[in-house]
Structure 1
Amino acid sequence: MEQQNDTRSLILTTGRRLTAQQGYTGVGLSSLLKEAGVPKGSFYHYFASKEAYGCALLDEFVTQYGIVLKASLLHPDMDARARVFAYFEGWKEKQLSGNPEDRCLVVKLSAEVADLSGDMSNILQKGVSEIVTHLVQTLEQGVKDGTIAPLEDPLATAETLYHMWLGASLIASVSHSDAPFNSAMNATNMLVPAP
């Protein structure tokens, strides 16, 4: 059983790296299996199709991202407002990283898989919803603990922040510049004001 999990994990780890570099549609099964050193029959033992594999890849990413997200937004040594800014500073650093694997798969794949797979889109949407939910909770904690000025609608603020940073990531990708992130951080300062 352990070898089966190891083989499945190897396929997903290799796929994560290749997908970060080439996108979902850019990674053919042949190149994935060759890179992983896994025979084609083994792939179909774990995944019924490339779409099922894509769902597993995204599920794993969303789960791992959720762990990192909670660690960032629940950091015990920082107040709520500082946690919001640390989260987005971390976002900026990862998206500007020279290593494609550091970058967010949601950013990389959201437009690409939206029309390809309803199941993959649903997984991405679930991940986005979890991010927004954690942002809302952190914003509400900040208002309650006095580190963030009262907000009219924490949910709308969290959604605006996420959408703005997603857009900044896409524009930074096109422009090869950190300017979109600097603009997003300035806007975040206005949207999440200190008291």
Structure 2
Amino acid sequence: MSQSADAAARRHDVRQHAASQHDGRPRDVRQHILDVAQPLLLRRGFTAVGLSELLATAGVPKGSFYHYFGSKEAFGEAVLEDYFSDYLAQVDALLGGPGNAAERVMRYFGHCLDTQVGDQMQSRCLAVKLGAEVCDLSEPMRAALDRGIAGVVARLTRCIADGARDGSLPAVANPAAVASTLYQSWFGASLLAKISRDRAPLDAAMAGTRHLLGLAQRT
């Protein structure tokens, strides 16, 4: 459910280096702006990051911004789409790796836990960071969040259904409902961990996940 600001910054550095021209400016300016934006938005939110700060950090003129994004709202939608494109690829790798379905789904949730705990207890999930802020602010951004979250839930649904087929998870009547409940649990736990600066909500989400998937008694 998360992607760290540090990971986004590293991805930006790699893309910027790979795309640089002889004059040192990135060839893909649009992607460069999006890569620079993610760590800023993860730290401070959407409305707190002004256009001047973003452009100064990215090192691009205002005209370049409006060439690629018609407005800050369109830019925010693009940031979320870019975030979920990368995040869904990460989910595919976690859920599509080796092992039975139970092992794969718990690998995903283990990753969720690992990326949300640490010395700096802050949201590393852009959906958590921006969700409440932008849903009333921008319909396109709300829709981008909704599409991205639906993509995560759809992947979890398939893995839970696979578990019933391979026998690693109990059969359930509605895998999609279970997947939605699990995502909602982790989304809420991530927000509560951010508020409390405590990992306890995430540990509770992990325990609840194992219980809901019928894995609580397994070692």
TM-score in terms of structure 2 length = 0.83
The aligned counterpart of 2:191 is 170
The aligned counterpart of 2:161 is 140
The size of the alignment, in residue pairs, is: 194
The aligned counterpart of 2:95 is 73
1:13, 1:33 → 2: CA distance?
12
The structure with the largest helix share of the pair is 1
Structure 2: any 5+ residue segments left out of the alignment?
1-20
2:118, 2:41 → 1: CA distance?
16
Q: How far apart are residue 152 of structure 1 and its match?
A: 2.6
Instruction: Give matches, 1:111-130, under 5 Å.
Output: 111-130=132-151
For 2:79, give the aligned amino acid. Answer: L
Identify if the C-alpha distance between structure 1 residues 72 and 185 changes in structure 2 by more than 3 Å, giving closer, same or farther: same
Q: State the SS of the aligned residue for 2:28.
A: helix
Q: How far apart are residue 15 of structure 1 and its match?
A: 0.6
C-alpha RMSD of the superposition: 2.1
Q: How far apart are residue 155 of structure 1 and its match?
A: 1.1
Runs of 4+ with >3 A deviation: 2-5, 97-102
The aligned counterpart of 2:55 is 33
1:100, 1:187 → 2: CA distance?
21
Matched, 1:109 2:130: yes
The aligned counterpart of 1:12 is 34
Q: How far apart are residue 40 of structure 1 and its match?
A: 1.0
Contact 1:21–1:100 at 8 Å: present in 2 too? no
Matched, 1:158 2:179: yes
TM-score in terms of structure 1 length = 0.93
The aligned counterpart of 2:208 is 187
